[in-house]
Structure 1
Amino acid sequence: MIAPSPTVANHHAAADHQRPVLARTAGVVLALTVALAVLTLAFALPAVKSKPHAVPIGIAGPTTVTEALQRAAPGAFAVTYYPGVAALRQAVLDRQVYGGLAVDTGGPTLLIATGGSPAVAQLLTQVGASFAQHSATPLTTEDLAPPKAGDPRGAGLAASALPITLASILPAIALVFVVGQRVWIRAAAAVLFAGLMGVTAAALLRYPLGSIDQNFWGVAAGLALGIAAALLFILGLGSLFGRTGLAIGAGLAVLIGNPLSGLTSAPEMLPAGWGTLGQLLPQGATATLLRSTAHFGGAGAESAILVLSCWAAVGTVLMATAALRRT
């Protein structure tokens, strides 16, 4: 029996070694393609499918006004009636509605709140202009939460959505790998980071960006609570389940929480049901809390604070479970 030459044997060995390398490479390429496709869909789909769904607005006037609005934009608005323009104005300032139309003997008055949502304010402006054109009466427009002089398009708050999300993911990853198994040191560091980051983000919105000009400490506290809630939850998952928990938490935040936060438009501008889901997640609640503290003195922030407190409590329970299990 003739043994194979060393050259042939080496060739077969090299081929056998190369096959798993090629398989792994193909797997990495395929996995990255799928991941980027999912990421693209997560961010683009809510924007593409965006349109008004039962946006809360107020009417102070006859029912014919509502009928005209429903004809102009079927299903776009959920209307609440108010006895007069003063009551409607207070409802907008309390964030019960995004705006509304008051019609009396003095002519129609459109109330908007750009700080609550520039997208909804623009929509109401268009609807109000159409109503005035059809009724052949001049329209008075009053912006109860106007954009700031340093940021007339309100782009600063909208652009802060992803950085706020990353502020809960990156520290969680770092603390899990750097601090080791000291769960309560991780928790203390997370709370300290959230407070510092809240003040830092508020300072950036106030000074370089000019997106806020009032209630600085309210904005900072709201941002700190939002970052702490998401960070503690992801950190709890990482403490209990390690890298798998971190991956799950980061995926939920980036692929679901951030796109559905509504900070770039409004929850009611997202596809039906998606906006409601987003408000139950830390990113959506933080977005609502940020707009409330930045433009309305904290009005309408109660539900967001409750949601964020629950997420922070869940994260704390997860970390406590991890500590007890290790003990």
Structure 2
Amino acid sequence: MRRSRSPWALAALLVGLVVLAQALLVPLFAAPAAHLAPRDLPVAVAGPPPATAELAARLAAARPGGFRITTLPDAAAADRALRDREVYAAFVVGPDGVGLHTAPAAGPTVAALLTEAAGQLSAGRPVPVTPVVPADPDDPRGAGFAAGFLPLALTGMLAGVLLTLLVAGRGARLAGLLGYAVLAGLGGVTVLHGWLGLLDGDPWREAGAIGLFSLAAAGAVAGLGALLGRPGLGLGALLVFLLGNPLSAVSAAPELLPQPWGTVGQFLPVGAGGTLLRSAAFFDGAGAGRPLAVLTGYAVVGLALVLVGRGSSVGGEVAARPGPARVTV
């Protein structure tokens, strides 16, 4: 006859597990944000060759390893590189000195950091700043974009969990995932673009980006749940939210995070989703190739796992499992 666990011991165990989770999660979320700095950040130097060579050398010396510098012939070429998401900013050498061309829509934090760096290079003299791809005027610091993207990740994870726990049948789960992706895309763009005004691109392109991200997040969780059961749901939550969110760089840029974590985050659903939505909302789709491929991969693999995994709901299996036989004396 098995003795029941003491409620005191159970309380101590639960408290210990929560404290351990806190000790792991706090640095996971706080450390990337506390150590933001340029790490191989793509920037351009544009202008006459002798002047650009000197300026590139000064940039490299000011922050070794901080910048990946591309030399361009003139301001027009620099602006094209900004619109194509090839660089975050361009230092343009002209007759009146150095000016800074930026793309705040790619990350207001990066634009502010590079504006500060330009002031240091000019020995404190004012540097004219031209925002070639500005952030949305209703969200100049990008805080609304980052805060608005977080619920998309959370609800995507939740949709995958609920469909796995409560819905039996592979076909019903697949229909639920696809229906959720369509509704999430339409609902997300209605709120973020139409109501709050945080996005500034083509609404259909933005809805497609949000819908694909939602399908990738929910599909990854549901697919792992179908394959592994409850442990798979935990792994999916770790992949999509607990690990993916702090490494996503949605509020900054992947090149500002400690490496290799900034790169790793772009191969997780939240990081790829944030990058894809920025490209759709502010850059007419430029720079969308890699995040589009990453999210499509998660969506296809997740749907395939749902299709071949267990068809019964995980919650139903647990509820139907017989308990220990009771012996009457």
Deviation at 1:323, TM superposition (A): 5.3
- Give the corresponding residue for 1:239: 226
Q: How does 1:120-135 map to 2 (within 5 A)?
A: 120-133=110-123
Mapped to 1, the partners of 2:55 and 2:306 lie a distance apart of: 54
Deviation at 1:46, TM superposition (A): 1.1
Q: What SS is found at the alignment partner of 1:257?
A: coil
Deviation at 1:24, TM superposition (A): 1.4
Which residue of 279, 304, 316 maps to 2:303?
Answer: 316
Q: What SS is found at the alignment partner of 2:6?
A: helix
Which residue of 138, 146, 157 maps to 1:169?
Answer: 157
Between the aligned residues of both structures, percent identity stands at 38
Q: Which amino acid aligns with 1:130?
A: Q
Matched, 1:25 2:11: yes
Which residue of 151, 170, 174 maps to 1:183?
Answer: 170
Q: Which amino acid aligns with 1:265?
A: A
- Give the corresponding residue for 2:54: 64
Mapped to 2, the partners of 1:155 and 1:307 lie a distance apart of: 25
Mapped to 2, the partners of 1:205 and 1:47 lie a distance apart of: 24
Q: What SS is found at the alignment partner of 1:58?
A: strand
Mapped to 2, the partners of 1:19 and 1:233 lie a distance apart of: 36
More off after superposition, 40-49 vs 221-230: 40-49
Q: How does 1:29-68 map to 2 (within 5 A)?
A: 29-61=15-47, 62-68=52-58
Mapped to 2, the partners of 1:276 and 1:23 lie a distance apart of: 42
Matched, 1:79 2:66: no
Which residue of 86, 89, 97 maps to 1:96?
Answer: 86
Q: What SS is found at the alignment partner of 1:315?
A: helix
Which residue of 97, 115, 132 maps to 2:105?
Answer: 115
Count of matched residue positions in the alignment of Structure 1 and Structure 2: 308
Deviation at 1:42, TM superposition (A): 1.7
Q: Deviations over 1:251-287 (max 9, x none)?
A: 2222211111110100001001101000111111101
TM-score (norm 2): 0.88
TM-score (norm 1): 0.89
- Give the corresponding residue for 2:95: 105
Mapped to 1, the partners of 2:312 and 2:180 lie a distance apart of: 26
Q: Which amino acid aligns with 1:248?
A: L
Deviation at 1:210, TM superposition (A): 2.0
- Give the corresponding residue for 2:280: 293
Q: Please tell me whether the aligned partners of residues 151 and 209 of structure 1 are also in contact (alpha carbons under 8 angstroms).
A: no
Unaligned runs of 5+ in 2: 314-329
Which residue of 133, 148, 169 maps to 1:145?
Answer: 133
Q: Deviations over 1:226-266 (max 9, x none)?
A: 11112111101111222111111012222211111110100
- Give the corresponding residue for 1:9: none
Q: Please tell me whether the aligned partners of residues 43 and 70 of structure 2 are also in contact (alpha carbons under 8 angstroms).
A: yes
Runs (4 or more) in structure 1 with deviation over 4 Å come to: 16-19, 323-326
Mapped to 2, the partners of 1:143 and 1:150 lie a distance apart of: 15
Mapped to 2, the partners of 1:324 and 1:259 lie a distance apart of: 33
Q: Deviations over 1:111-132 (max 9, x none)?
A: 1010001111001111122223
Q: Deviations over 1:157-215 (max 9, x none)?
A: 111242121122111111112212x1121111111111111221122212342212331
More off after superposition, 146-155 vs 109-118: 146-155
Cα distance change on mapping 1:121 and 1:46 into 2, 3 Å: same
